[in-house]
Structure 1
Amino acid sequence: HYVNLQMSWTDAQNYCREKYTDLATIESMEDISRLNRPPLDTTMVWIGLRDYLKSCEGKLKTDTNSWRFSATGQPSKTGFANWAPGYPFSVPCTEVCVTMGPDGRWTDADCAIAARSICCNTAENKKTYVFQPVWRSWPDAQAYCRTHYTDLATIESSEEQTNAYLAKPAGTWAWIGLYHRPWVWSDNSNSSFTNWFNGEPNNRFRNESCVSEDLQHKWFDNDCTMKSAFICHE
């Protein structure tokens, strides 16, 4: 449903949720082919994609659904968390990967820093944790664990927390598999499908956290306060 009203992304989201289901989630070229665009007052229209990495201030503490495990791409099925007091902190939203500290508590950290890591093997719903003493960035640690084990450590219960904690030497920090998702749809789903215009997203003005499509259905990141028509789905 194309809506020919000029609104910010947030207002468009609220409108779609009130009148339909939500801003449009697009997960395939088939979805795009179903968009029969009528004449509108603008060449750009909002869709439901937003970059939580660029707009996460104030949300990291409250939006538990935004913290996901590397192995599943999903939040903890049990809701378990073991954050250190005052965490996650992440200002200005650069600390979006998670370490386990010497006391077993979790803290968010810059993914590019070098740290040791904990991998896990999963078999018959039981996890075995293996400490890796080599210092790596979080993405490199993830790649290593996926090559040699199952993935970076997923921790979803007090028992798993204890087992992961005991796998590492005392007094050490180590990456675990928890991270803050970047691009996500308005309904909190994520998808590997994208249809970016060449060179996008580029965050050109350092405040472009919401996504619009052009006449050819190509995607651009834009300032969320920009007023535009938009697409809802039901």
Structure 2
Amino acid sequence: MMKTLLLCVTLSVFSVPSTRTEPFFREYHYVKALKTWEEAQQACRELHSDLATVDSPAESARLLGEVQEPGELAWIGLYDNMTKWKWTMGRPEFDRNIDYHCWQDDNPKYKCLNDTCATVRYNGLWRDEICNTERPFVCYNEQGPPKFIYVTTFMTWDDAKNYCRSMYTDLARVNSEAENTELYNLLPRNAWIGLYRRPGLPGLWFNVNCEEKHNFFCERLIPPRSRVKLRFRSGADLTDPQIQLQILEQLQAELQTNSLTDVRLRWITRDGQVFHEEKEEGK
């Protein structure tokens, strides 16, 4: 007896032009092998796509769910980037390629620590330091002279920022060589300014030295998928794996004749079966 059956096919499109806007799916892989950050990155690029990245709370939850031992540290793909520096006043983004800066040759030196803040030395050179360090600081007053106010009291960067905002305008921002010269002429020693790097990220992330060795997370980017349902009649035994393979091969050949060469097909199973009999109406 001929039966009307319903089957599902999943198409993973790799290079076929598409108007789809949904992102690639990140498939996370926890790798239990102690490596530095750079070694882990190289391994992930060889085995998968790259070190894991996280763009949403949902991805963060999925990644943390892969951790096999609670409390264990594991590398992800977050790393030091100059574009993450920001000013407390005015346009916040700091771009080393276009904005004025006067970093000392070996600075920023805390390459794997994102929670760092900038100081200006007595010679005008900038250094990055741990924000919890206590330093004197320079405020900016936009209401009247002098523009830069040197405060001798030692405070952490956050306390200095709060002080400047309560007493003046904000921690100092330096936009030119002339302003930098004016500022450092006030200084007998290193002092905080309003440049900092402190990203806010979902999840349980920690800043550690990139030379430490930890296990790590890789990601594999899975392209968007389309699910297609087909309805047809057949007298063959569709539970036979060989028959199922032949059908896939025939579908693949048909797609190729229509110039869809970069498509992969696979069956989707439901209740342990690929094919499901469709009940006729009235029966």
State the TM-score, normalizing by the size of structure 2.
Answer: 0.46
The corresponding residue for 1:69 is 87
Return the offset for 1:6: 3.9
Q: Distance in 2 between matches of 1:118 and 1:163?
A: 11
1:79 aligns with 2:99: yes
Q: CA RMSD in A?
A: 4.1
CA deviation string 1:35-77 (max 9, x = no partner): xxxxxxxxx447xxxxxxx9664x3xxx432211111362348
The corresponding residue for 1:103 is 123
Return the offset for 1:183: 3.1
1:89 aligns with 2:109: yes
Letter of the 1:157 counterpart: S
SS at match of 1:133: strand
Task: Please tell me whether the aligned partners of residues 164 and 170 of structure 2 are also in contact (alpha carbons under 8 angstroms).
Answer: yes
Aligned length: 160
Return the offset for 1:102: 2.0
SS at match of 2:147: strand
Letter of the 1:143 counterpart: N
Letter of the 2:82 counterpart: T
Of 191, 195, 198, which aligns to 1:174?
A: 191
Structure 1 unaligned regions, length at least 5: 16-22, 27-43, 47-53, 185-199, 208-222
Letter of the 2:191 counterpart: A
Q: Distance in 2 between matches of 1:85 and 1:96?
A: 17
Q: Distance in 2 between matches of 1:181 and 1:73?
A: 16
CA deviation string 1:148-185 (max 9, x = no partner): 111101001001101111233x3x1100110114137x
1:175 to 1:227, Cα distance in 2 relative to 1, 3 A: same
- Give matches, 1:121-200, under 5 Å: 121-122=141-142, 128-168=147-187, 170=188, 172-183=189-200
Return the offset for 1:224: 6.2
Task: Please tell me whether the aligned partners of residues 114 and 197 of structure 2 are also in contact (alpha carbons under 8 angstroms).
Answer: no
Task: Please tell me whether the aligned partners of residues 71 and 152 of structure 1 are also in contact (alpha carbons under 8 angstroms).
Answer: yes
Letter of the 1:177 counterpart: G
Task: Please tell me whether the aligned partners of residues 114 and 198 of structure 2 are also in contact (alpha carbons under 8 angstroms).
Answer: no
SS at match of 1:88: coil
The corresponding residue for 2:204 is 202
Q: Distance in 2 between matches of 1:70 and 1:148?
A: 15
Letter of the 2:121 counterpart: G
Q: Distance in 2 between matches of 1:163 and 1:135?
A: 21
Identity across matched positions, percent: 22
1:87 to 1:154, Cα distance in 2 relative to 1, 3 A: same
The corresponding residue for 1:192 is none
State the TM-score, normalizing by the size of structure 1.
Answer: 0.54
Letter of the 2:93 counterpart: P
Of 215, 218, 240, which aligns to 1:225?
A: 218
Larger radius of gyration: 2
Q: Distance in 1 between matches of 2:165 and 2:223?
A: 39
Letter of the 2:150 counterpart: F
The corresponding residue for 1:114 is 134
Letter of the 1:129 counterpart: F
Q: Distance in 2 between matches of 1:5 and 1:155?
A: 42
Task: Please tell me whether the aligned partners of residues 84 and 94 of structure 2 are also in contact (alpha carbons under 8 angstroms).
Answer: no
1:120 to 1:228, Cα distance in 2 relative to 1, 3 A: same
The corresponding residue for 2:277 is none
Q: Distance in 1 between matches of 2:99 and 2:155?
A: 28
